Homo-oligomer: A and B are copies of this chain.
């Protein structure tokens, strides 16, 4: 199967960002050609005239909880503890694998509308989450969510083996929910497993001040210092949120090459704080971006996140030049891929996976054109996403989904499931 995009602008993010005009060919699951028009090019199954629109590498949503669409706008505008204990936890207890499957697909659809081609997903009912992605043709990296209440070391190791098959759209990273929900025994078991597999480990880290204070009172250490002592991150990995890292924590992140995955919309909405992303960047810590789950955001939109990453740093640093658009785009496309171990999905180049999105520049929010990269980060919107391709397959085009599902049926099943849970 060969698809040719022509009259395209193509975002090259090799060193600095620049945009070249020409053709991009996809052969099966990979990019097979980028360059000027070839009169003697191969016969194509489909040729798509982009009329000057822009091909970008797909965004990577480096932290999310996809099945939580059922809690979107369910209990907003309430204090955090009331929201968690009275609304989120009782509803989550009613989830089943079949519900998880349907609620996940709604999230995958929303990723596609936002040009997101891969998600790093932490939730329970892992087989249902994996099946939803596999059935839709979406690329998902599952993150372990081990804690005192969910899963076990044995189950995590089984998932690690099952979901790390070659040539699969699914992969699996070791992970646990957070220090405050995971016993020291389990943490030691995770460190041991990481050592045996020489594998990176991911977890929620320092999302709130209360979380850090709790860890200090239990261990007289920050979460990051505790993980360092236990050897959790001896083979890398990273932290989700990282709003409240100490100087010593950031030194550990830097030394170990750990990724910060920032979630600005969720942190604002839950009043957790603003992660000092600009400081992390200056210290050389790699940063990726996630939407977090739809219960706390509530939308799964990389354009919103990108805008917030830069705008909040400008505010935090009192400096309108902080965290420029190019850095943010690098986080959203390349750093996310590297954090998730998707080393073939980090940029548009021959031989890389064909995970990409087409951005409509013929919209008023992109005109007139002074700087397309800055437009993308500061002015871009889901409305500009014309097409999203994962692994060489077009899953979303001109508002329609090609994910092997009846969309109306997904919506009606989701509504019925939700009704049955209330």
Q: Given A271-B319, A298-B374: A364 and B77 within 8 A (CB)?
A: no
This protein's copies in its complex: 2
A160 shortest CB reach to chain B, Å: 30
Contact A325 B77 (CB under 8 A): yes
Q: Given A411-B367, A411-B368: A301 and B381 within 8 A (CB)?
A: yes
Q: Which of A107, A273, A297, A307 has the most CB of B within 10 A?
A: A307
Name A418's contact: one of B271, B301, B370 (CB within 8 Å).
Answer: B370
0/1 string, A392-422, CB within 8 A of B gives 1: 0000000000000000000100110110000
Residue of B nearest to A301 (CB): B381
Interface of chain A residues 290 through 348 with chain B (CB within 8 A): 294, 297-301, 304, 307, 310-312, 314-315, 317-325
Which B residues are in CB contact (< 8 Å) with A74?
Answer: 370-371
A57 shortest CB reach to chain B, Å: 20
Interface of chain A residues 59 through 108 with chain B (CB within 8 A): 69-74, 76-80, 83, 103, 106-107
Pick from A3-11, A145-153, A225-233, A262-270 the stretch touching chain B. Answer: A262-270
Contact B69 A317 (CB under 8 A): no
Q: Count the A residues whose beta carbon is within 8 Å of the partner chain — how many?
A: 72
A315 shortest CB reach to chain B, Å: 5
Determine whether A369 belongs to the interface, using a CB cutoff of 8 Å to chain B.
Answer: yes
- A323 vs B78: C-alpha distance in the bound complex, in angstroms? 10
Determine whether A32 belongs to the interface, using a CB cutoff of 8 Å to chain B.
Answer: no
Q: Given A72-B379, A319-B79: A415 and B369 within 8 A (CB)?
A: yes
Q: Which of A110, A320, A325 has the most CB of B within 10 A?
A: A320
Residue of B nearest to A381 (CB): B382
Q: Given A269-B314, A311-B269: A77 and B324 within 8 A (CB)?
A: yes
Residue of B nearest to A327 (CB): B77
Contact A379 B273 (CB under 8 A): no
Q: Which of A69, A271, A324, A418 has the most CB of B within 10 A?
A: A271
0/1 string, A150-163, CB within 8 A of B gives 1: 00000000000000
Determine whether A113 belongs to the interface, using a CB cutoff of 8 Å to chain B.
Answer: yes
- A78 vs B325: C-alpha distance in the bound complex, in angstroms? 11
- A115 vs B109: C-alpha distance in the bound complex, in angstroms? 23
Contact B362 A411 (CB under 8 A): yes
- A315 vs B311: C-alpha distance in the bound complex, in angstroms? 14
- A216 vs B88: C-alpha distance in the bound complex, in angstroms? 49
Q: Given A369-B415, A378-B297: A113 and B319 within 8 A (CB)?
A: no
Q: Which of A109, A298, A369, A380 has the most CB of B within 10 A?
A: A298
- Known contacts A69-B368, A269-B314, A367-B414; can you find 7 more A-B pairs with CB under 8 A? A69-B367, A77-B323, A78-B321, A83-B320, A367-B411, A368-B414, A383-B385
Q: Could you show 16 A-B contacts with beta carbons less than 8 Å apart?
A: A69-B367, A73-B374, A77-B325, A83-B320, A106-B367, A109-B364, A265-B307, A265-B311, A271-B315, A294-B379, A301-B381, A365-B382, A367-B411, A369-B418, A370-B418, A381-B382
